[in-house]
Amino acid sequence: MGLVKGPVDLLVELHRRSGLPLHEQLERALRDAIRTGRLPAGARVPSSRSLAAELGISRGVVTSAYDQLVAEGYLETRQGAPVRVARGVRAQPPRPPTPSLVPKFAYDFSPGLPDLAGFPRDSWLRSVRAAWREAALDAVGLGDPRGAPELREALADYLGRVRGTAADPEHLVVCTGFRQGLSLTCRWLRANGVARLALEEPGWHAQRLIAQEAGLEVIPVALDAEGIDVPALESSGTDAVVVTPAHQFPTGVLLSPRRRTALIEWAERGDRLIIEDDYDAELCRERVGALQGLAPDRVLYIGSASKRLTPGMRLGWMLPPSWLSWALISAKSIEDAGSEITGQLALADFIVRGELERHLRRMRLRYAERRAVLLAALRRELPDLSAAPPRDGLHIVVHLPDDVDESSLLASAARHGVGLEGLSLHSYTGNCPAGLVLGHACMAEPALARGAKLLGTAYAEAAGGVNKMRG
């Protein structure tokens, strides 16, 4: 109950030229005052006549605002009694700001991003316009949960040509990215009695989080210079594995031909599933076809627009084995009834016009140049680090000497405005050697050089700190 017995004084400012009707402005001001507690439950509001006189507006404006707020439950009226703030209303104190999940650094070497400034906005806009101009009426309704037929056809053709997949548009499922594809699959595995999922060690940390979220136990399987250790996978006793055969993340290892064969044999022997994460193959100059092309009935292929175009697009595609496709289509349909249509139709047009391949060619060159600049800058600024660069792509891996603590280096770099990812983030066992995964795709050359210089300073501090503790 409010402390003021009579009508409370209301500080309401109305702007006649704001374009918003006066009764709506008044409603908003009162709603806001009630929500924040400035007008407490039970407080008496001025009569419509006196508030109208005070604000220089007609009485009808005030009664209309009061009526609306009574209908919404903020105010209450009783026969013959003054209008009051409803007794059941609870004031909500202003919410503290939520911390940003994406830290901002002046020089951000996190490996997730492609070159955002290089996104081909003009040609993409042409595709978006064409998509809406040409789309049939029912194409923009709630369509096939597998995705727009135009995109499934364009992708099946593109993936067959460029990635060597066996792609049938009927079995291709458009999703919101690799993450959704993996998440739907993990839930299906769990629901079908598979409790454990093998992942490469080290491997992309998000795979681990997604598998665990679905209730699967993660089984890390070691890698060597040829890729995943298949005998170790065999002895792990798992029935499904996620691999990045074209460009292992983060180490950059290419799954050797021998291992490809062995992996497929493993899957065939035990009626098992290989989940192929093909996140950036076209951005590598040294390319091999997708594993799925060799064994479409054992491999679930998942690709996405995240590295090829931009992750904000949230578009991906799955090529499930035919025995799994219905389950995934049905899971996708239950989850979100299919992906957003504009992006799908635009991507179909973009692929058909050859724009995707043009963009990828341009980006391959750009990333190779940026990689060379980063490697040269690291040699200059951090001569005692051994860069073991993956052959290609959007990031490199740098190993740290034993006496430099990875987390101290990350903290020191953050103080200098440099964002870094440690190799340990991508290790499930925590046993991988200390190191950094440095993305070079989203920074122009001068920024790469300046960032490397600051990293050199941060490194000297982190290494110096350890030496001081020892000394």
Ligand X SMILES: Cc1ncc(COP(=O)(O)O)c(C=O)c1O
The nearest distance, CB 292 to ligand X, in angstroms, is 15
**What is the smallest separation between the CB atom of 409 and ligand X, expressed in angstroms?**
22
Shortest reach from residue 435's CB to ligand X, in Å: 16
Nearer to ligand X, 66 or 178 (CB): 178
Of residues 112 and 145, the one with the C-beta less far from ligand X:
112
Three-state SS sequence of the chain: CCCCCCCCCCCCCCCCCCCCCHHHHHHHHHHHHHHHCCCCCCCECCCHHHHHHHHCCCHHHHHHHHHHHHHHCCEECCCCCCCEECCCCCCCCCCCCCCCCCCCCCEECCCCCCCHHHCCHHHHHHHHHHHHHHCCHHHHCCCCCCCCHHHHHHHHHHHHHHCCCCCCCCCCEEECCHHHHHHHHHHHHHHCCCCEEEEEECCCHHHHHHHHHCCCEEEEEEEECCEECHHHHHHHCCCEEEECCCCCCCCCCCCCHHHHHHHHHHHHHCCCEEEEEECCHHHCCCCCCCHHHCCCCCEEEEEEHHHHCCHHHCCEEEECCHHHHHHHHHHHHHHHCCCCHHHHHHHHHHHHCCHHHHHHHHHHHHHHHHHHHHHHHHHHHCCCCEECCCCCCCEEEEECCCCCCHHHHHHHHHHCCEECEEHHHHCCCCCCCCEEEEECCCCCHHHHHHHHHHHHHHHHHHHHHHHHHHC
| Beta partners for residue 318, in sequence order | 173, 302
C-alpha span between 81 and 444 (Å, rounded): 69
Shortest distance (Å) from residue 256 CB to ligand X: 19
The least distance separating ligand X from the CB of residue 316, rounded to whole angstroms, comes to: 5
Structure tokens at 303: 């690709």
Shortest spacing between CB 397 and ligand X, in angstroms: 13
CB of 280 to ligand X, least distance (A): 7
* Least distance from ligand X to the Cβ atom of residue 332, Å: 14
CA–CA dist 361, 370 (Å, integer): 15
CB of 224 to ligand X, least distance (A): 19
All residues at 6 or more sequence positions from 273 whose CB lies less than 8 Å from its CB, including other chains: 185, 189, 239, 240, 241, 267, 298, 299, 300, 321, 324
- Please, which residue, 293 or 311, has the CB nearer to ligand X? 311
Of 194 and 209, nearer to ligand X (C-beta) is 209
Give 303's strand partners.
278, 317
Rounded CA-CA distance 208/223 in Å is 16
Side-chain-facing half-sphere of 281: CA atoms under 13 Å: 23
Find out whether 452 and 380 touch, Cβ atoms under 8 Å: yes
Site for ligand X, rule CB under 6 A: 112, 177-179, 204, 244, 249, 277, 279, 304, 306-307, 311, 316
CB of 277 to ligand X, least distance (A): 5
Residue number with CB closer to ligand X (179 or 359):
179
Minimum gap (Å) between residue 310 Cβ and ligand X: 10
CB of 304 vs ligand X, minimal distance in Å = 3
- Comparing CB distances to ligand X, the nearer of 89 and 167 is 167
The closest of 433, 354, 443 to 388, measured between CA atoms, is: 433
